[in-house]
């Protein structure tokens, strides 16, 4: 086997990446052959279908991406190792606001007017040029993390093939009648003349609200006016309504009251005016001296006021007063639950085009949608008096006009948090904007039914957050008034807006527009906006494209089809249909209502199936201090820096080991101050070094011994119990890993491995150490089996941890298998082309595993006793007594007596059943057993139990019973506790009692001293850089009156020293020095001198 090299994990990983590249391992994992090689005659691999959710490439990858990327790698690697072809194409989300915002900044053009002045072609060209700016960095990081994903055969949402499929998807929905034009109230930046997304609104100026102490939108002072509306059927009686947006009053169409709130009709004494208002709020007006004394005349609930007709404030939209059938239409009182009595009058002015609540009320009441201004907030000629004025500037004129007309009850200023434009800093206007919807509400049942087929990790996201969302799914607003995106393929007649066609392919557009086939090579706005054609339905009409583009979620949701240019590419058509739903996807919790939702909605609408079968939802990664990771705060380490310091394997293992793979947030760090990623170093120590150490151990001795593995090594059945045990343990480990992988529970993989590691290093190797070290000449069967077993264990581990630790496992596999010429078959050159180990049930012996666990328990207890007594393990003790009523425990101790004796350095072990005389016994009631039986009597019985005499307890323990408070009790109703008797070196736990005999005679003392001496000699050997197999000539110097000198007089102990330290010569007090390596040391305070010289090879 190859000699040991210095251990540098990141360097190992870089070499493995090279190796994968040289051998084209990734390609072969997917295709089962090398590039350009004949596929061969065998059946193709079955597919395991993975969909990659596309990230925006406008930023650099952060830990959230690395986490998702790790999940997206671990799972596919597992299935690939089970013989599946796992296609992993990287996806890029190219469209949408992030890139448009960046480009707006770079070009310094903001808003509709400036962009259109620059020209959509130039703007989009800049977006196209800039959107993939970080792809190389992405690739570097993703590859360095060990994630296998195909960047060459990637998909981009801006590819014409992708966009054409999006058109097709949309056309299917159009055919189904799912697409309709509607309105939605959105915030608009008047100077930019464009609606803003929530994201942009949130970027607006923020300010701390002194009242609530919380950050929120910037505060502003708006006019707060109270206006009187005269009842038509009761002239002289008014409704007092409140608003902070006078500019919406010309568009007033209704007044809203809360159905359950009681309103009062009052007479203002001074003026004689009759008015309706909520009485509590009236009192506030009076407190502020805005309204004089009143007399209350009548009270009515809001629901009773509904339907009252009032005279319009302004004449502009009087035509909506009545419908054609003469029924009242607008300018009436309506009810609305959102009305509050916190401020104002309890009667709220309604302009359906200018508020979300107003819009909903208007929709319910069938009110017209009146929006007499453009997106810049400038009044049009439908409001002639204010035409050309901007909304907020018109406030003053409107208030003045109302004042002149004596329609103003009160004028005040209202300070509140209000969203402002992130760019121009001016207040946003909410207004109804035409948008395109997909009908989703009628699909709820089917969406829920399909969701039942999805395996969610964690479960609650599927049933809770996602399921609830599906249950109340709203129609999907899928158009955006933007530039860089897939254009909606709707062409509309300029003569008749109802005359529309939906284009489903490039070919269709070319045909309709009379263009040469193949002449359209791109589908962005600059390429298709100018294409027009004659209407088929409207004579003389011209069809022109509407201006909207798709919400980019629609594009990522179309990815199962669009990444394969479905249905246009005949070679992929069947493939796409066969591969829906995908077997597996994984993204962050924030995608629940994003990508998860859009995938689900579209596949349900198009194919009546879910889009994926299994999904792992990961949580958000926070910095070590619990805050969001922030470049400014520098509260997290650079990802590549961490990888180059500690290795990608360790980072991967760390990332998938916590609840973050079950959608819970994770703090990245060891503690709040760990901004260097030291936690990842901890993972190196916990998960990788032990494996490296085990490997080192094998190689060190195998090389010294000239042991070489053969093919038979991996299948021969050993005879030693220790070997049989570790083989069983490893198979159980494989079985558990498989269970976790198949349940998509990644968080248990590393903990299972750590437990396995402990058994391997701290019992199997520790206990077996001497088996390997018997001198190069000895070649007995047991030694060969020891090597073979350890080798086999390491090879199995290299296979089954490969999905999690792809680098180090590959490294081990190369060293253990490939380097020694044991790689088999065409796929023998990488562990990732190997099969994941199949559980070998014939090797599993659960009883043996339990027995070893019990033996280890006994050892642990006894070690603790030595610790408490301050007796080092090098000092032999005469005996250990183990007492237990559990026959299994006694059997285990007998079975492994030699191991336990050796581990604890005791000469004999005595096993007994009864621990009387060793420990004192006490008992408590077993609440779990008795609670159900006794109910309320539980407490008195429990007290009585604690007062039982130890003698009675022993009787019960031996099968007797007792009656307390009228209740018969036997051993299983009690929990026994054993405490060491004074003077006894004893301890008890879990029904096992161990007692150490610490009386030693001279012989034992001498043996202990010699073992101390051996330790000092070994330290000197190590300090002198001797090879483990070097033979030495040894001299020990010590005073003749010391105990050690006495010990050295014993022939047997001198033999022990020589055997343990490979000393061919042992001289005691030879006089002069003359050795090449010398040392001074002490044992029990007695000084001694050591000298060693490497003996000439024989």
Partner RNA sequence: GGGCGUGUAGCUCAGUUGGUUAGAGCGCCGCCCUGAUAAGGCGGAGGUCGGAGGUUCAAAUCCUCCCACGCCCA
The catalytic site residues sit at: 54, 93, 553, 591, 595, 628, 631
Can you tell me which of 608, 634, 696, 781 binds RNA, judged by CB under 7 A? 696
Which CB sits closer to RNA, 375 or 765?
A: 765
- C-alpha–C-alpha distance, residues 362 and 371, integer Å: 13
The nearest distance, CB 915 to RNA, in angstroms, is: 14
Which CB sits closer to RNA, 79 or 595?
A: 595
Q: Which of residues 527-566 bind RNA (CB under 7 A)?
A: none
Binding mask 824-863 for RNA (x = CB under 7 A): ------------------------------------x--x
Q: Which of residues 1057-1096 bind RNA (CB under 7 A)?
A: 1061
Contact 460, 618 (CB under 8 A): no
Can you tell me which of 60, 873, 911, 1068 binds RNA, judged by CB under 7 A? 873
The nearest distance, CB 592 to RNA, in angstroms, is: 6
Which CB sits closer to RNA, 223 or 647?
A: 647
Which CB sits closer to RNA, 277 or 683?
A: 683
686 scored as a contact of RNA (CB under 7 A): yes
In sequence order, what are the residues at sequence separation of 6 or more whose Cβ sits closer than 8 angstroms to the Cβ of residue 1025?
A: none
Q: Which of residues 13-42 bind RNA (CB under 7 A)?
A: none
CA nearest to 228, candidates 301, 300, 285 = 285
Which CB sits closer to RNA, 383 or 1014?
A: 1014
CB crowding 964-989: b at 16 or more within 10 Å, else e: beebebebebbebebebeeebbbbbe
Report DSSP letters for 784-802, one per residue.
HHHHHHHHHHHHHHHHHTT
Q: Which of residues 899-958 bind RNA (CB under 7 A)?
A: 924, 926-928, 931-932, 934-936, 938-939, 942
Q: Which of residues 1000-1019 bind RNA (CB under 7 A)?
A: 1011, 1014-1015, 1018-1019
CA nearest to 245, candidates 220, 225, 218 = 225
Can you tell me which of 384, 1022, 1049, 1076 binds RNA, judged by CB under 7 A? 1022
Q: Which of residues 198-217 bind RNA (CB under 7 A)?
A: 198
- Cα–Cα distances in Å, from 538 out to 20, 174, 419, 544? 63, 20, 44, 13
Angle at 998 between CA 993 and CA 1003, to 5 degrees: 140
Can you tell me which of 45, 874, 954, 1050 binds RNA, judged by CB under 7 A? 874
Which CB sits closer to RNA, 575 or 773?
A: 773
The nearest distance, CB 489 to RNA, in angstroms, is: 25
Tell the burial category of 1036 from Cβ atoms under 10 Å away from its Cβ (0-12, 13-18, 19+).
buried
120 scored as a contact of RNA (CB under 7 A): no
The widest CA-to-CA distance across the chain, in whole angstroms, is 130
Can you tell me which of 234, 298, 671, 910 binds RNA, judged by CB under 7 A? 671
Q: Report the DSSP pairing between strands 206-208 and 476-477.
A: unpaired
794 scored as a contact of RNA (CB under 7 A): no
45 secondary structure, DSSP code: P
In sequence order, what are the residues at sequence separation of 6 or more whose Cβ sits closer than 8 angstroms to the Cβ of residue 504?
A: 167, 168, 170, 171, 172, 174, 489
SS3 358: helix
Can you tell me which of 1021, 1036, 1075, 1091 binds RNA, judged by CB under 7 A? 1021
The nearest distance, CB 628 to RNA, in angstroms, is: 6
Can you tell me which of 95, 667, 729, 799 binds RNA, judged by CB under 7 A? 667
804 scored as a contact of RNA (CB under 7 A): no
Can you tell me which of 257, 431, 559, 694 binds RNA, judged by CB under 7 A? 694
SS3 751: helix
How many residues in total does the chain contain?
1098
Can you tell me which of 44, 659, 739, 1074 binds RNA, judged by CB under 7 A? 659
Which CB sits closer to RNA, 103 or 871?
A: 871
SS3 338: coil
Instruction: List beta partners, residue 208.
Output: 215
Q: Which of residues 622-641 bind RNA (CB under 7 A)?
A: 626, 628
- Cα–Cα distances in Å, from 717 out to 786, 839, 843, 845? 11, 16, 9, 14
The nearest distance, CB 445 to RNA, in angstroms, is: 18
Which CB sits closer to RNA, 659 or 826?
A: 659
The nearest distance, CB 325 to RNA, in angstroms, is: 34
- Name the residue with tokens 């930023």: 59
> Six-digit token pair at 523?
């589908």
Binding mask 743-782 for RNA (x = CB under 7 A): ---------------x--xx--xx--x---x---------
666 scored as a contact of RNA (CB under 7 A): yes
3-state secondary structure 375-396: CCCEECCCCHHHCCCEHHHHHH
Judged by CB under 7 A, the stretch of 169-177, 232-240, 378-386, 652-660 that binds RNA is 652-660
Can you tell me which of 14, 465, 703, 738 binds RNA, judged by CB under 7 A? 465
Can you tell me which of 468, 902, 970, 1087 binds RNA, judged by CB under 7 A? 468
SS3 264: strand
Judged by CB under 7 A, the stretch of 368-376, 540-548, 661-669, 715-723 that binds RNA is 661-669
Q: Which of residues 40-79 bind RNA (CB under 7 A)?
A: none
Q: Report the DSSP pairing between strands 1032-1038 and 992-997.
A: unpaired
Instruction: List beta partners, residue 911.
Output: 882
The nearest distance, CB 962 to RNA, in angstroms, is: 18
Contact 628, 584 (CB under 8 A): no
E strands along 106-178, which residues? 150-156
717 secondary structure, DSSP code: P
Which CB sits closer to RNA, 607 or 773?
A: 773
- C-alpha–C-alpha distance, residues 1057 and 873, integer Å: 17
Which CB sits closer to RNA, 299 or 769?
A: 769
Which CB sits closer to RNA, 267 or 1077?
A: 1077
Q: Which of residues 504-533 bind RNA (CB under 7 A)?
A: none
Judged by CB under 7 A, the stretch of 94-102, 114-122, 133-141, 660-668 that binds RNA is 660-668
Q: Which of residues 314-373 bind RNA (CB under 7 A)?
A: 356
Contact 503, 544 (CB under 8 A): no
Tell the burial category of 603 from Cβ atoms under 10 Å away from its Cβ (0-12, 13-18, 19+).
buried
- C-alpha–C-alpha distance, residues 727 and 731, integer Å: 6
Q: Which of residues 966-1005 bind RNA (CB under 7 A)?
A: 975, 977
Judged by CB under 7 A, the stretch of 39-47, 522-530, 670-678, 729-737 that binds RNA is 670-678
Which CB sits closer to RNA, 407 or 700?
A: 700
Can you tell me which of 226, 700, 796, 993 binds RNA, judged by CB under 7 A? 700
Q: Which of residues 232-251 bind RNA (CB under 7 A)?
A: none
Number of residues that bind RNA (CB under 7 A): 88
Can you tell me which of 86, 660, 793, 893 binds RNA, judged by CB under 7 A? 660
The nearest distance, CB 717 to RNA, in angstroms, is: 24
Binding mask 569-608 for RNA (x = CB under 7 A): --------------------xx-xxx--------------
Report DSSP letters for 908-924, one per residue.
EEEEES--BTTEEEEEE
Q: Report the DSSP pairing between strands 274-277 and 237-243.
A: parallel
Which CB sits closer to RNA, 135 or 922?
A: 922
E strands along 581-690, which residues? 582-588, 612-618, 621-623, 666-668
CA nearest to 207, candidates 219, 191, 195 = 219
Question: What angle do the packed helices 595-607 and 444-451 form, to 10 degrees?
Answer: 110
């Amino acid at each position: 086997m190859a000699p040991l090299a210095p251990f540098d994990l990141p360097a190992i990983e870089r070499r493995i990446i090279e190796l994968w590249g040289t051998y084209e391992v990734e390609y072969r994992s997917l295709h089962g052959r090398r590039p350009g090689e004949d596929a061969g005659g065998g059946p193709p691999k079955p597919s395991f279908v993975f969909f990659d959710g596309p990230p925006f490439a406008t930023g650099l990858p952060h830990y959230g991406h690395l986490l998702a990327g790790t999940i997206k790698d671990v799972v596919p690697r597992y299935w690939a190792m089970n013989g599946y072809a796992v296609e992993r194409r990287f996806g890029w989300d190219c469209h949408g606001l992030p890139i448009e915002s960046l480009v707006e900044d770079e070009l310094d053009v903001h808003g509709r007017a400036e962009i259109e002045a620059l020209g959509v072609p130039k703007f989009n060209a800049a977006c196209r040029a800039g959107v993939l700016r970080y792809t190389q960095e992405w690739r570097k990081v993703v590859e360095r993390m060990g994630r296998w994903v195909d960047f060459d055969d990637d998909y981009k949402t801006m590819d014409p093939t992708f966009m054409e499929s999006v058109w097709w998807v949309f056309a299917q929905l159009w055919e189904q009648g799912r697409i309709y034009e509607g309105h939605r109230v959105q915030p608009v930046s008047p100077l930019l003349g464009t609606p803003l997304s929530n994201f942009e609104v949130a970027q607006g100026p923020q300010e701390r609200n002194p009242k609530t102490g919380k950050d929120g939108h910037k505060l502003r002072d708006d006019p707060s006016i109270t206006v009187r509306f005269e009842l038509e059927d009761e002239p002289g009686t008014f409704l007092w309504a409140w608003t902070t947006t006078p500019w919406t009053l010309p568009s007033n169409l209704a007044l809203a009251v809360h159905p359950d709130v009681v309103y009062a009709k009052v007479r203002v004494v001074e003026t004689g005016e009759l008015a309706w208002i909520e009485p509590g709020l009236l009192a506030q007006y009076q407190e502020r001296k805005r309204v004089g004394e009143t007399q209350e005349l009548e009270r009515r609930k809001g629901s009773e006021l509904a339907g009252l007709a009032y005279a319009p404030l302004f004449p502009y939209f009087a035509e909506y007063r009545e419908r054609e059938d003469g029924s009242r239409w607008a300018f009436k009182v309506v009810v609305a639950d959102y009305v509050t009595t916190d401020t104002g009058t309890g009667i709220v002015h309604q302009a359906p085009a200018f508020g979300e609540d107003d819009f909903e009320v208007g929709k319910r009441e069938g009110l017209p949608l009146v929006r007499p201004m453009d997106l810049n907030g400038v009044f049009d000629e439908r409001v002639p008096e204010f035409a050309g004025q901007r909304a907020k500037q018109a406030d003053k004129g409107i208030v003045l006009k109302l004042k002149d007309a004596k329609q103003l009850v009160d004028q005040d200023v209202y300070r509140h948090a209000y969203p402002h434009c992130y760019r121009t800093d001016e207040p946003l206007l909410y207004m109804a904007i035409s948008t395109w919807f997909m009908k989703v509400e009628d699909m709820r049942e089917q969406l829920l039914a399909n969701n039942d087929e999805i395996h969610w990790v964690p479960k609650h996201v599927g049933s809770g957050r996602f399921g609830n969302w599906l249950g109340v799914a709203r129609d999907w607003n899928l158009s955006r008034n933007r530039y860089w995106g897939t254009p909606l393929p709707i062409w509309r007649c300029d003569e008749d807006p109802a005359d529309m066609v939906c284009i489903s392919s490039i070919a269709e557009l070319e045909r309709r527009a009379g263009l040469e086939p193949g002449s359209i090579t791109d589908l962005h706005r600059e390429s298709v906006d100018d294409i027009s054609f004659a209407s088929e339905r409207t004579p003389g009409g011209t069809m022109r494209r509407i201006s909207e583009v798709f919400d980019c979620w629609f594009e990522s949701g179309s990815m199962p089809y669009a990444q394969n240019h479905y249905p246009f590419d005949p070679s992929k058509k069947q493939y796409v249909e066969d591969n829906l739903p995908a077997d597996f996807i994984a993204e962050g919790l924030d995608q629940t209502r994003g990508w998860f939702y859009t995938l689900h909605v579209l596949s349900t609408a198009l194919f009546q199936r879910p889009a994926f079968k299994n999904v792992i939802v990961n949580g958000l990664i926070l910095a070590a201090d619990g805050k969001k990771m922030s470049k400014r705060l520098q509260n997290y380490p650079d990802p590549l820096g961490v990888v180059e310091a500690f290795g990608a394997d360790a980072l991967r293992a760390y990332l998938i080991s916590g609840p973050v793979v079950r959608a819970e947030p994770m703090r990245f760090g060891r503690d709040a101050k760990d901004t260097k990623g030291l936690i990842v170093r901890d993972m190196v120590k916990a998960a990788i070094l032990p494996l490296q150490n085990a490997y080192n151990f094998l190689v060190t001795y195998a090389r010294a011994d000239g042991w070489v593995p053969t093919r038979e090594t991996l299948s021969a059945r050993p005879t030693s119990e220790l070997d049989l045990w570790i083989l069983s343990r490893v198979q159980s480990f494989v079985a558990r890993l498989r269970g976790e992988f198949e349940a998509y529970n990644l968080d248990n993989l590393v903990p299972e491995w750590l437990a396995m590691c402990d058994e391997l290093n701290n019992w199997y190797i520790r206990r077996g150490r001497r088996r390997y070290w018997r001198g190069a000449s000895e070649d007995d069967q047991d030694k060969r089996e020891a090597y073979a077993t350890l080798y086999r264990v390491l090879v199995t581990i290299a296979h089954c941890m490969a999905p999690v630790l792809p680098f180090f496992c590959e490294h081990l596999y190369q060293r253990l298998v490939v380097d020694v010429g044991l790689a088999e078959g065409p796929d023998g050159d990488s562990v990732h082309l190997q099969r994941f180990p199949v559980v070998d049930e014939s090797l599993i012996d659960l009883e043996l595993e339990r027995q070893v666990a019990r033996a280890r328990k006994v050892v642990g207890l006894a070690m603790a006793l030595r610790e408490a007594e301050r007796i080092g393990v090098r000092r032999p003790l005469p005996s250990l007594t183990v007492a237990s009523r559990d026959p299994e425990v006694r059997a285990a101790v007998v079975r492994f007596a030699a191991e336990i004796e050796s581990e604890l350095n005791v000469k004999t072990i005595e096993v007994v059943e009864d621990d009387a005389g060793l420990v004192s016994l006490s008992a408590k009631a077993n609440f779990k057993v008795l609670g159900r039986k006794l109910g309320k009597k539980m407490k008195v019985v429990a007290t009585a139990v604690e007062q039982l005499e130890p003698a009675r307890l022993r009787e019960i323990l031996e099968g007797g019973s007792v009656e307390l408070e009228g209740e018969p009790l036997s051993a299983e109703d009690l929990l026994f506790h054993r405490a060491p008797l004074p003077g006894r070196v004893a301890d008890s736990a879990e029904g096992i009692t161990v007692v150490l005999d610490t009386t030693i005679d001279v012989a034992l003392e001498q043996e202990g001293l010699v073992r101390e001496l051996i330790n000092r000699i070994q330290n000197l050997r190590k300090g002198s850089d001797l090879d483990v197999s070097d033979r030495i000539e040894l001299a020990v110097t010590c005073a003749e009156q010391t105990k050690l000198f006495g010990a050295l007089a014993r022939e047997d102990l001198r033999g022990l020293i020589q055997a343990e330290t490979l000393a061919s010569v042992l001289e005691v007090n030879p006089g002069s020095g003359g050795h090449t390596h010398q040392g001074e040391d002490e044992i029990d305070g007695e000084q001694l001198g050591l000298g060693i010289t490497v003996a000439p090879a024989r």
